[in-house]
Copies of this chain bind each other. A is one copy, B any other.
Amino acid sequence: MALIVQKYGGTSVGSPERIGNVARRVAGFQAQGHQVVVVVSAMSGETNRLIGLAREIAMDPDPRELDVVVATGEQVTIGLLCMALHAAGVKARSYTGSQVRILTDSAHTKARILNIDEAPIRADLERGNVVVVAGFQGVDERGSITTLGRGGSDTTAVALAAALRADECQIYTDVDGVYTADPRIVPQARKLDRITFEEMLELASLGSKVLQIRSVEFAGKYKVRLRVLSSFAQGGEGTLITVEETQNMERPVISGIAFNRDEAKLTVLGVPDRPGVAYRILGPVAEANVDVDMIVQNAGHDAATDLSFTVSRGDLGKAVKALEAARGEIGDLVVETDSSMAKVSVVGVGMRSHPGVAATMFRTLGEEGINIQMIATSEIRISVAIEEKYLELAVRVLHQAFGLEQIPGAGEGANHR
């Protein structure tokens, strides 16, 4: 008998019929003798409807009151799912975030979980109940309702799994696992049976929207065994996200290829080459709440240099404005922009012990005539900025170059030299 925390997202509970399907799946797990805690999101579309109502009243609604309104989405789902479980002959009991109680700080709309009182849930499980908990929400010390921000239901599930020392935390979603690349771009993409937390974090931060990044961090920190599965397909094993690297010696060097389409590049020309200038350029950009991603400073010629950096395409205007406002302070700068950039990344813990990955990546792209404009690396990731029109081609040729379509151990492994 295991204790399993399962999380079902908005699409999985998007209609009464789908809620019935979730109930039958949960009933099946309980029939196998497992104790089950279910975390649910709001029915798909509901959170946006509620935010829309709020925005009709105030452009910038009070965060405390916005949380009061938005938290009702998940509250509706927990009640409906319990009804569906009763209809399936299963004892079930619902909990809002404040009923659990999931104590958070008071940072409304983006609160952080401080503590979970798992005792009432454990008591309910012992009585043979399935426990259904509203995701995405908690309560602060003063009793005000808080929300964890978008995607926070994943975090609720992982935090509950940690507090209950659950055997596994299963995230049900509309994909059946984590893939080596987006199957819409690479038809040969293969579902991964396992991936490490570090790799998952890199993939999530690069725009693979399978799991919310905070929940992966949380799971890594508290060593929660995390699994991503499809709530629509039956019987799949999904992808297990683990702390330990796989025992398989034939493990591939690269686990997956991620990309981010909406990038823009800014290049500031003729920057005076003296200490503190990079901060004086990037400081105003950060203050304008624009996240800077890749940064490259070219080798200076004479007393001047060029500084390039990328931002989200939607933030390009804000970034340019921030630079113009700072012009007086830094001097007369020329700013060039390119809003048709994309980022492609290869991710894998195996590259720690295989130094040839960057060379394989750059050669493969070069052979296709794809110019690399910027490069950034972490210990387990190499990212390049390229022109967006080459994005699909780049992902496909890299997928092939690293042999990702092959099941590890079944063939020659990665073919990089």
Q: Indicate which residue in B86, B94, B145 contacts A58 across the interface (CB closer than 8 Å).
A: B86
Which has the most chain B C-beta neighbours within 10 Å: A20, A50, A53?
A53
Contact A62 B75 (CB under 8 A): no
Contact A69 B75 (CB under 8 A): yes
User: Does A56 touch B at the CB level, under 8 Å?
Assistant: yes
With the chains together, A415 CA to B72 CA distance in Å? 57
User: Does A393 touch B at the CB level, under 8 Å?
Assistant: no
Contact B65 A53 (CB under 8 A): no
With the chains together, A62 CA to B67 CA distance in Å? 27
- On chain A, the number of residues with a Cβ less than 8 Å from chain B's Cβ atoms is 37
Bitwise, A59-77 to B at CB < 8 A (1) or not (0) is 0011011111101100110
Q: Indicate which residue in B16, B82, B86, B145 contacts A53 across the interface (CB closer than 8 Å).
A: B16
User: Does A161 touch B at the CB level, under 8 Å?
Assistant: no
Contact B62 A69 (CB under 8 A): no
User: Does A298 touch B at the CB level, under 8 Å?
Assistant: no
A interface residue numbers (CB < 8 A to B):
16, 19-20, 50, 53-54, 56-58, 61-62, 64-69, 71-72, 75-76, 78-80, 82-84, 86-87, 93-94, 96, 98-99, 143-145
Contact A82 B94 (CB under 8 A): no
A75 contacts across to B, CB distance below 8 A: 68-69, 71-72, 75
Contact A76 B62 (CB under 8 A): no
With the chains together, A54 CA to B83 CA distance in Å? 8
A87 contacts across to B, CB distance below 8 A: 57-58
Contact B99 A80 (CB under 8 A): no
Assess A66 versus B79: contact at CB under 8 Å? Given A19-B57, A57-B16: yes
A77 to chain B, nearest CB (A): 9
A76 contacts across to B, CB distance below 8 A: 50, 53, 69, 72
Q: List 12 A-B contacts (CB under 8 A).
A: A16-B57, A53-B76, A58-B86, A65-B79, A65-B80, A65-B82, A67-B79, A68-B82, A69-B75, A72-B72, A75-B75, A98-B98
Assess A80 versus B54: contact at CB under 8 Å? Given A62-B86, A68-B75, A75-B69: yes
A136 to chain B, nearest CB (A): 14
Contact B57 A84 (CB under 8 A): yes
A94 contacts across to B, CB distance below 8 A: 64-65, 68
Q: Indicate which residue in B65, B78, B82, B84 contacts A83 across the interface (CB closer than 8 Å).
A: B65
**3 cross-chain pairs, A with B, having the tightest CB-CB distances, nearest first:** A69-B79, A68-B79, A72-B72
